[in-house]
Amino acid sequence: MVLNYIWIAFFVIAFVVAVVQTFVYGNTGIWTDIMNASFSSARSAFDISLGLTGVLTLWLGLMKIGERGGVVAVLSRWISPLFSRLFPGVPKGHPALGSMFMNVSANMLGLDNAATPLGLKAMRELQELNPKKDT
């Protein structure tokens, strides 16, 4: 919600500065510069998101293959002594342990964008164990 206000403020400030540039300094080229910068930034954002989508799809697919193949379950059993000490409220063999392991391993591999959905899945599974559902 606050982010919406921030973006609206960016656009309003840019518009006010452009109006001042136009009427006070006579710079009518500011409107062309704003439009060119807007389209250039949109192109850059699209290129970045396209590249991130490819990497994200690759790693999430590999994680899903590992999950269905049982590799994640085996690795989560190996690391469960550490995770049971770090998270004593999570029972052994709970699916949240596997999701947390996948999130930690994705973060250790430097796959920040691929780790986000894994972390959200782990939080969803941990929320099932939470006695206060609104907290």
Please report, rounded to a whole number, the percentage of residues in the chain having pLDDT higher than 70: 100
pLDDT digits (tens, 9 = 90+) for 84-109: 888 888 888 788 888 888 888 888 87
Higher pLDDT, 36 or 53: 36
Average pLDDT over residues 49-64: 82
Higher pLDDT, 13 or 51: 13
Please state, in angstroms and rounded to a whole number, the distance separating the CA atoms of residues 56 and 117: 10
Category of 50 on φ-ψ map: left (φ > 0), alpha (ψ -120 to 50) or beta: alpha
